[in-house]
Amino acid sequence: MTTVDDLGKPLALDRPVRRVVSLVPSLTEAVAVTCPELLVAVTDWCTHPADLQLERVRGTKNPNVRRIVELAPDLVLCNMEENRRIDVDRLRRAGIPVWVTRIETVDEALTSLSRLCAEALGVGIPKWLTDAEKSWAAPAPARSRNAVIPIWRNPWMVVGRNTFTGDLARRLGLHLVHADRADRYPRLTEDELRAGVDLAVLPDEPYVFTETDGPEAFPGVPSVLVEGRALTWYGPSLATARATLTERIERALR
Q: What is the mean pLDDT of the chain?
A: 96
Q: What is the pLDDT of residue 58?
A: 97
Task: Provide the pLDDT confidence category of residue 14 given band limits of 50, 70 and 90.
Answer: confident
Tell me the per-residue pLDDT of 62-90, one tens digit each, with 9 for 90 and over.
Answer: 999 999 999 999 999 999 999 999 999 99
In order of start, what are the domains of the chain with their CATH numbers? 2-125 (3.40.50.1980), 145-253 (3.40.50.1980)
Rounded Cα–Cα distance for residues 2 and 48 (Å):
30
Rounded Cα–Cα distance for residues 204 and 211 (Å):
11
H-helix or E-strand containing 30?
Answer: helix 25-34
Q: What is the pLDDT of residue 15?
A: 85
Predicted confidence (pLDDT) at residue 206 exceeds the cutoff of 90? yes
Residue 235 and residue 30 in contact, taking contact as beta carbons nearer than 8 Å: yes
| Percent residues over pLDDT 70 in the chain | 100
Q: Which residues of 176-202 are buried (b: 16+ CB within 10 A; e: fewer)?
A: bbbbebeeebbebeeebbbeebebbbb
Predicted confidence (pLDDT) at residue 40 exceeds the cutoff of 90? yes
Q: Which residues of 85-111 are buried (b: 16+ CB within 10 A; e: fewer)?
A: eebbebbeeeebbbbbbebbbbebbbe
Across the range 214-235, mean pLDDT stands at 96
Q: What is the pLDDT of residue 51?
A: 93
pTM exceeds 0.85, yes or no: yes
Rounded Cα–Cα distance for residues 26 and 165 (Å):
13
Distance between terminal CA atoms of the chain?
54
